[in-house]
Amino acid sequence: MRKLFRILFAPLLIGSIISGCSASGGEDDKQVQKQEVKKEKADADQAVGNADNPSKLESPPLPVSLEEIFSYPEGSFSSEDLSIDTSDTEAALNAVPAVPEDASDEEIKELFGYLYSLYKMEYQDPRAIMESASEVEGPESEGGSQESPASFNVEIVLDASGSMANKLGSKTRMELAKESIKEFASSLPEEANISLRVYGHKGTGSDSDKKMSCSSNELVYPPQPYNEGELNSALDKFNPAGWTPLAQSLIEAQKDLAQFEGQDNKNMVYVVSDGIETCDGNPVEAAKDLKDSGVAPVVNIIGFDVKGKDQQQLEEVAKAAGGTYQNVTSQQQLQNELNKAVEESLKWRTWYYEERMNSLEDFNTQKLDIRSIKNDWVKNHNIEKAKITTSLSQIKQKGKITDEQLSQLTDFRDDYYKSQRQVIDDLANVLIDAKQSDMESIRQQIDELYEKNVSN
């Protein structure tokens, strides 16, 4: 059986043979033909040999794997133009010998492989655009973000027990605390809500007043934007008086902020106290419940000139709440702690929202890039298929293949490109899944870093 593609002359030479230009040329004509063959060889590199040195046409094995696709040479006629009506293409098709009627499947596939080699397009590797996930870093000392929580809510829980009447310098602890609260509230962002709860502000420190004093827990300024007159009026409503129901104040603080879900809002609770629980409550347990609630606030315990076991309990409360404890011994220190916590928390919250949004944007961008490359592959497949289909039709019209062979070649074409489509589909899905995992890993790092620096 005759092997396909035994002889292929250079396109120009073949054109001369087909047109009947032969004996009249002599030696001079042969030299001209050889020179023209060399000139056309770069544009039609499937033509090998010449009239004096015929050789078998070879095309590389059909690519199957990704690496084979990328290493397979681009075809001589690989443009996006679907037309194959050029002299070079016609010459390449005319060079195809007739396929024997009893040709084997492999011989028929050789014809498909040859046509594929003419039209094979260039393919971009989608793996080349993949970016490695970088290590997450915290916010810089300066810089801003375009993202912010739905609302920013700060509640101050103020100890108004009798010990807050003790003096620190020339003023009582309560006077210093009220002045600091006024200054702090006025410095909050305009869109922030502030609320004020006081406890232990009724009765006295005597045993006879314990029940009344321990039940004194009042939201004197409900969550709302800062209003100087209303806040000053609320601060004037109470003075240091009795016992210290710290645990109950934390329970009530959770209720005060219940309307602001922690998932979408930024909530902070400041507890300013100069002593431990004296109303038989369990402030550590209450603090833990506050932390685990849907409010999910950042809790800061500020001890006002606290010492010994009182300080130890407040530290335990802060730890249970997943927050921080800081002892202050002056009004300036108290003011600094109030301001510092808000500024630091806002900075981290801003960073948190920005980084999570950036991770999603990066994922979506690379996913779109991967899909764009996949679409380019599909477009190239369609171009190649269209040209191969047209070429097979022309070859059939020339009587070089039978109807049955055309059907075989068409089926093989469809099967081949179906498998190629599966290759790029699978790769795109793997790459997108990898980017999804990268995004989830980055977000986990963001969450952990945020929790470490703000919530603990």
Of residues 193 and 84, more confidence is placed in 193
* Residues sharing a CB contact under 8 Å with residue 427, sequence separation 6 or more, in sequence order: 66, 126, 127, 374
- State the average pLDDT over residues 415-428: 93
Of residues 15 and 126, more confidence is placed in 126
- State the average pLDDT over residues 194-203: 96
**pLDDT given for residue 281 in this prediction:** 96
Pick the range with the lowest mean pLDDT from 42-46, 322-326, 386-390, 441-445. Answer: 42-46
Angle (nearest 5°) at CA 409 between 408 and 410: 90
Long-range contacts of 415-421 (CB under 8 A, 24+ apart): 416/62, 416/112, 417/381, 417/384, 417/385, 419/64, 420/69, 420/377, 420/381, 421/377, 421/378, 421/381
**pLDDT given for residue 369 in this prediction:** 92
Give residue-wise pLDDT tens across range 74-115.
999 998 888 888 889 899 999 899 999 999 999 899 999 999
Supply the mean pLDDT for the chain.
83
Fold of 151-329: Rossmann fold (3.40.50)
Q: Are strands 167-168 and 171-172 parallel, antiparallel or unpaired?
A: antiparallel
Pick the range with the lowest mean pLDDT from 169-183, 339-353, 429-443. Answer: 339-353
Of residues 331 and 403, more confidence is placed in 403
Give residue-wise pLDDT tens across range 278-317.
999 999 999 999 999 999 898 999 998 898 889 999 999 9
- Burial of 179 by CB count in 10 Å (0-12 exposed, 13-18 middle, 19+ buried)? middle
**Nearest by Cα to 56 from 65, 66, 46:** 46
The one-character DSSP state at 225 is E
Longest CA pairwise span in the chain (Å): 135
Q: What percent of the chain has pLDDT over 90?
A: 58
Per-domain residue ranges for the chain?
66-125+361-452, 151-329
Q: Is the pLDDT of residue 143 over 50?
A: no
**pLDDT given for residue 348 in this prediction:** 78
Q: Is the pLDDT of residue 135 over 80?
A: no
- State the average pLDDT over residues 54-65: 73
- State the average pLDDT over residues 436-451: 88
How many angstroms separate the CA atoms of 150 and 144, rounded? Answer: 17
Give residue-wise pLDDT tens across range 338-367.
887 677 667 777 888 889 999 999 999 999
284 near 238, Cβ under 8 Å? no
Give residue-wise pLDDT tens across range 10-24.
232 223 222 333 333
**pLDDT given for residue 419 in this prediction:** 94
- Element housing 172 (H / E): strand 171-172
How many angstroms separate the CA atoms of 254 and 300, rounded? Answer: 14
How many angstroms separate the CA atoms of 334 and 273, rounded? Answer: 11
How many angstroms separate the CA atoms of 59 and 360, rounded? Answer: 46
Question: DSSP readout, 89-120?
Answer: HHHHHHTSPPPPTT--HHHHHHHHHHHHHHHP
The one-character DSSP state at 268 is E
